[in-house]
Amino acid sequence: MYPVMLDVKGRSCLVVGGGGVALGKVEGLLVEGGNVTVVSPQVINPLEKLADQGEIRLIQRAYRAGEVAEYALGFATTNDTQINTQVYEDAVAAGVWVNVADVPELCTFYLPARIKRGALQLVIASAGGAPFAVRRLRQVFDRLLGSEWSEWIEAATRFRNILRERVAVPAKREKSFDQFFSSTVDARRLVVHVPGEEEMEAWLPGKLEGSEAGRSPRTGISKPEETRLTSGFVSLVGAGPGDAGLLTVRGRQRLLAADAVVYDHLAETVIPCELRRDVELHPVGKKAGYHPVPQEEINRLLIRLAQQGKRVARLKGGDPYVFGRGGEEAQALYEAGIPFEVVPCVTAATSVPGYAGIPVTHRQEVVTVSLVTAHESSKEGGPQTRWDLLAQDKHSTLVGYMGVISLPQTVERLLASGMDPETPAAMIERGTTSRQKVVRARVADLPGAVLRSGVRPPALFVIGPAVRHSEQLDWFGSRPLLGERILTPSGGEESVVDALELSGAEVISVPLPVSPAARIVVSAAPLTGCIFRTADEVEALEDERALRNWGSEVVAFCLSEGAAAKARNLGWACVEEVLGEPAGEELVKRIGNRRVAAQRNSGME
């Protein structure tokens, strides 16, 4: 097979069939700008919605012989062998490229599995012979490649354009390309660093050619005038601690109205799944010990997008102005003349302890709250934080951000400064989310307890007398389904979602077809289950099972016999029919029973 990539933008594409497989083809074509017509007597609801929204042309009748000849590309996705064969033969006769789903011998082209990171695409194919292997390989590479690769490929594109403009000798360009690649890619771990303008400037060969006019005074890299359009607007939006329900109303409004969303790693679970499909999504988040996109490059990205006239939502983990470097981003926007606003959030300093049963203030017991970054305890040249004063205030709650690695030094400083070693303390990992984990101990023992429990960032510590109330007031940690992360197609019964959420499960409602934003949310953390009402929903989500954090142990909870039969037919390892009424209560009961059984089996092992 000869591999090619087709540009379908503006081209007419025919999809014959109206089920979940057809939906997958339609979605892929729409993302790439194709003009799609669907022909089928019956279609599933998501296709009807796309037609109602004017995104596709829908003809609800049977396929007519020869009509594929009117299109540039044809797809047959029906369960009728005769119709699929007719589409194939008509397409071949007319010289139209055609693909019949899951029938390699009736294809003049195949659709490989794709891993997309912005403009970067990796494709895996088997010439139609082993789709099961291709799908599993896709899962492997999807887990290996982080979201930062999308920003890396954009930086690579900008660097190539600079070299083409400045350097005429191909050999010199290649040396610079080698330098770019070796300096930004860890080929062994498949991780990347997104370079800033200063770094790229250093990789240009020799002296810059031509006039200095129009180039940045800081780096010399030109900023073409065509990118300087009407200034846009930037909203610095706080995502909060991780629970999507704690995103503010204004923050959600700004995200839904944005042309581009620049988001942190810790903000992925908060992105609205119903963001428009044409919204630019720019991942720039940091993880503990790994900062692929430098802060200076984030600042430039915000400015660059705004200068293109876009409305930009900068979605920051936590609050923009609480240890979030939002002030630096706001300063950079101000200096560039970009109008901006700050949308605060429900900050982790109060919400995370609250979800762990800790009131950060308590009448006649705690009257002050101090927020610190624990990195200060191990800062070279001495800390700016007065640990001595904090240690001696017996009526205060101390909340520490980024505290896992530096916790031993922090506790050592506090104890050395006179803090009572019996002071109640806690470390809270991924607070407010389905993965919340709380470790409680007296402050002198907290570092050892945290080490033994395996707590990892992101986490914050809370030290003070109010922590003693934690076990009594632990309303969130005591919920029976805490730890469950369950996906359901949008449009289901609200009572089902309410019942699950009140029992502690995190529920993700995704639109069909699945939006790019929804894929980010789903992939942000491991799923434990999916709720399906119909066989069409099972089929519509089939391709999404290749996403990161969607393992084979995910349970298909099916609310109809048809959905259960389809899930088993598609190879789901765990299928459970939930046919009782009301469905929400029955689901809570079934999921709870599975958890008890799993704990019992784990204990036996």
Residues marked active site are found at 264, 286
Q: What are 417's two structure tokens?
A: 């400064």
Residue type, 137: L
| Three-state DSSP class for residue 83 | helix
| Three-state DSSP class for residue 126 | coil
User: Cα separations (Å) of 330 from 234, 295, 335?
Assistant: 9, 12, 9
375-401 burial: b if 16+ Cβ within 10 Å, else e: bbbeeeeebebebeebbeeeebbbbbb
* End-to-end Cα spacing for the chain: 49
Q: What is the DSSP letter of 146?
A: -
217-226 burial: b if 16+ Cβ within 10 Å, else e: eebbbbbeee
* CA nearest to 104, candidates 80, 72, 127: 127
Distance CA 584, CA 131 (A): 36
254-293 burial: b if 16+ Cβ within 10 Å, else e: bbeebbbbbbbbbbbbbbbbebeeebbbbbbbbeeeeebb
Alpha carbons within 13 A on the beta-carbon side of 253: 4
| Three-state DSSP class for residue 285 | coil
* CA nearest to 394, candidates 474, 468, 470: 468
